[in-house]
Copies of this chain bind each other. A is one copy, B any other.
């Protein structure tokens, strides 16, 4: 049962990790030589091939792994890049997290992501933690209060970039929510009017109006209507928050069945689709919706006209490009969304 081998010069005895000093001792050399060999600077430091080989062999044999806490402490750079995301469990943030890691590794960083559940206190706490781990740069995604985090980072002399939601105290890379919403609304309006033969105002469901992204999307939504000479009644905009249940409740509370719905996020869409499937079949037939954000299953639902997919690769490409420049100005970069329409 117990596989720990106590004897011999094998791998570290439980609890004690091998250090460069251990290796130096068994090889009969100095810790500096071991360090130089193991971090690749040995040629420059004129260590002989022979010694290098002996050291490498012993390191492998002992299962050595560097203590990066010690290494980072000594060097000026930590090579750690941090990210704060509100949630992992939807496709948008899942993709952001995944591609952030990929990009970070490609740029030579070690990525550390922390999920903050849209809780402002947890956001601050997480940012502080990441700073304590000496991140060189922090990417703040969808934070409720990005500016306070920017302040923290500035105090520590750490680069910050806002992603997805803009802030006023750091560079921001965000989707062009207005453009995406405008185009998406145009599509839904024209499909519906082709179907019914007349123009009818759509409903907007989900999000919060004081949130930048939602207000930009509402602006696009309204503009698409006014392009057709329509004025949307205020009651058609149900900015009820992001939770799925809220969307379900506010659609149910309407008292009638809206025929065209702009859903503000896949999270709200979960509620909207649930509401839809709970309707009697004949009501369900001619309801159409579109949704800001993309999900592969939601995109294939029969009532879905199209989705606006935020261009995650482009967003992250912009973020890493910004990080590489080392600039510190406070600007906002807009990245266009991709429209993904249902094949008829």
Contact = CB atoms under 8 A, between A and B. Distances in A.
A63 B301 contact: no
A88 B78 contact: no
Contact of A329 (B1, B70, B273): B1
A300 B273 contact: yes
A68 B13 CA distance: 26
A17 B277 contact: no
Interface stretch (A93-101, A171-179, A251-259): A93-101
Contacts of A302: 302
Given A70-B73, A115-B97, A3 B154 contact: yes
Contact of A270 (B87, B266, B296): B296
A208 interface: no
Contacts of A132: 65-68
B94 A89 contact: yes
Interface stretch (A40-48, A106-114, A187-195, A199-207): A106-114
A274 interface: yes
A152 interface: yes
B87 A89 contact: no
* A interface bracket (residues with beta carbon within 8 Å of B): 35 or more
> In this complex, which of A63, A68, A270, A296 has the most chain B Cβ atoms within 10 angstroms of its Cβ?
A296
A148 interface: no
A156 interface: yes
A152 B266 CA distance: 40
Nearest to A76: B15
Interface string A49-75: 000000000000001011111101100
A190 B261 CA distance: 37
A157 B73 contact: no
B63 A69 contact: no
A98 B94 contact: no
A251 to B, nearest CB: 15
25 contacts: A2-B328, A4-B328, A12-B155, A13-B157, A16-B157, A17-B157, A63-B152, A65-B131, A65-B132, A65-B152, A68-B69, A68-B133, A69-B78, A69-B133, A87-B98, A88-B97, A88-B98, A89-B94, A89-B95, A90-B94, A94-B94, A110-B133, A269-B297, A270-B296, A270-B297
Given A13-B157, A16-B157, A69-B133, 8 more contacts: A12-B155, A14-B157, A65-B128, A68-B69, A69-B70, A89-B94, A97-B97, A277-B300
Q: Which 5 A-B pairs have the closest CB atoms?
A: A63-B155, A89-B94, A297-B297, A11-B155, A88-B94
